[in-house]
Amino acid sequence: MVQDDYHYAPSVKLESWLMTGAAVMTVAFAAVMIFSPDSLIDEDWEIVDVCLAGHSEISSHDHATLSIFLDGSEVAIAADTGIDDATCDGMRGIHTHDETGKLHIETPRTMEAPVGAFFEIWGQTFNENQILNNIVDEDSEIVMYVNGEINDEYGNYAMQNNDVIEIYYRDKSD
């Protein structure tokens, strides 16, 4: 019996192409992460684009209370945030009427209202690493409570009616 002489060249060639393709994809992914790390984060919150001319367009109206404390001092949230601003001649999907921290979540239909969407409307930064102009370092931290419970969703937390949200920028030793 004579054993056939098998050639492995086609499978080696295919394996080489697959490895090259995987290497190219890895390099492309690394380049995207290095040069544009925010491009893979989807924070395109629908509610940010809501602009209502009046209350007759509202099908959903909820409220949440937001308090921000920086090193023990409460920060005032400006009255009329999200009302008649640069991008909306009316009311944005999340807005304030006074300085109490009461957020009005008013939309033409039911949609999520992430905390981060309010900060975007306000023109401020909030995530696990920064609140307003305060950045977390080795000595400080940001802690968020929702209805008295620690919440680590930060800007992605979808507010519910009557939520009480407290955000603290503080020393880690506190």
Q: Is 119 helix (H, G, I), strand (E, B) or coil?
A: helix
CA distance 16 to 67: 58
| Percent of the chain that is helix, strand, coil (3-state, to 5) | 30, 35, 40
Q: What is the CATH number of the domain that holds 125?
A: 2.170.130.30
Which of 40-44, 47-51, 67-71, 164-168 is predicted with the least confidence, judged by mean pLDDT?
40-44
pLDDT: is 7 or 136 the higher one?
A: 136
Asked if 79 and 64 sit in the same domain, the reply is yes
Asked if 61 and 116 sit in the same domain, the reply is yes
Give the pTM: 0.74
Number of structural domains, the chain? 2
Residue 54's pLDDT is 79
What is the pLDDT averaged over residues 121-145? Answer: 97
Q: Are 161 and 154 in contact (CB under 8 A)?
A: no
* Tokens at 108, concatenated: 């033409």
Asked if 34 and 53 sit in the same domain, the reply is no
Is the pLDDT confidence value at 23 over 70? no
Asked if 31 and 52 sit in the same domain, the reply is no
Per-residue pLDDT band at 50 (split at 50, 70, 90): very high
- DSSP for 40-84, written as a single string: G-----GGGG-EESSGGG-SEEEEEEEEEEETTEEEPPPTTTTEE
